[in-house]
Amino acid sequence: MLYVFAFAFVFLFLQVQSEDSVLLFVIAWTVTEIIRYSFYTFSLLNHLPYLIKWARYTLFIVLYPMGVSGELLTIYAALPFVRQAGLYSISLPNKYNFSFDYYAFLILIMISYIPIFPQLYYHMIHQRRKILSHTEEHKKLNSSCSSTPPETNFPMTKNAADFFSVPNAFPRK
């Protein structure tokens, strides 16, 4: 959610574009998305290398705080410009008798990360423990069985067409 605000400020205010925090969150986002979509692609092909799985459930330990820090610092750097320009703010009087202060809204969003970030971060740590410990147990189990050839760890297909075939979700009548 916060990345929408951070990314918007980079394009709205030239002064914010030169902040180091922009580089921080762009690098974190880029590496995260490369890992995420590699994970999805290999999962769809039923051939997920352990390195990709490990990266997906481990590198967030550094990338997640790095990205959130970059986002928060970018928004913080943009706050004076938001206040000065009155960006997205609605003041009274108006025909709807409604006011909205985007500057205050951004501060509330930033403060909300105090309780939200630890919950999200520890959820990811729990997911990492669950997924990677299951993988480690599976590897130990397979290595202890010398009669099972290593090729049987992957789905067996008759030919390449079977491997890349997609079930027809909309059969013709």
Show Cβ contacts of residue 68 under 8 Å, excluding neighbours closer than 6 positions.
2, 113, 117
pLDDT above 80 (res 48): yes
CA distances from 169 to 5, 164, 166, 172 (A): 38, 15, 9, 10
Total number of domains constituting the chain: 1
Q: Please indicate, yes or no, if residue 164 is contained in any of the structural domains.
A: no
Q: Please indicate, yes or no, if residue 85 is contained in any of the structural domains.
A: yes
Note down the domain range covering 64.
2-8+18-136
User: Is 64 an active-site residue?
Assistant: yes
Q: Please indicate, yes or no, if residue 91 is contained in any of the structural domains.
A: yes
Question: Predicted confidence band at 13 (pLDDT cuts at 50, 70, 90)?
Answer: confident
Q: Please indicate, yes or no, if residue 157 is contained in any of the structural domains.
A: no
Q: Please indicate, yes or no, if residue 54 is contained in any of the structural domains.
A: yes
Q: Please indicate, yes or no, if residue 154 is contained in any of the structural domains.
A: no
User: Is 136 an active-site residue?
Assistant: no
* Catalytic residue of the set 19, 57, 71, 103: 71
What local confidence, expressed as pLDDT, does residue 134 receive? 75
pLDDT above 70 (res 10): yes
pLDDT digits (tens, 9 = 90+) for 123-143: 999 999 999 987 655 555 555
pLDDT digits (tens, 9 = 90+) for 104-117: 999 999 999 999 99
This prediction has a pTM of: 0.72
Q: Please indicate, yes or no, if residue 158 is contained in any of the structural domains.
A: no
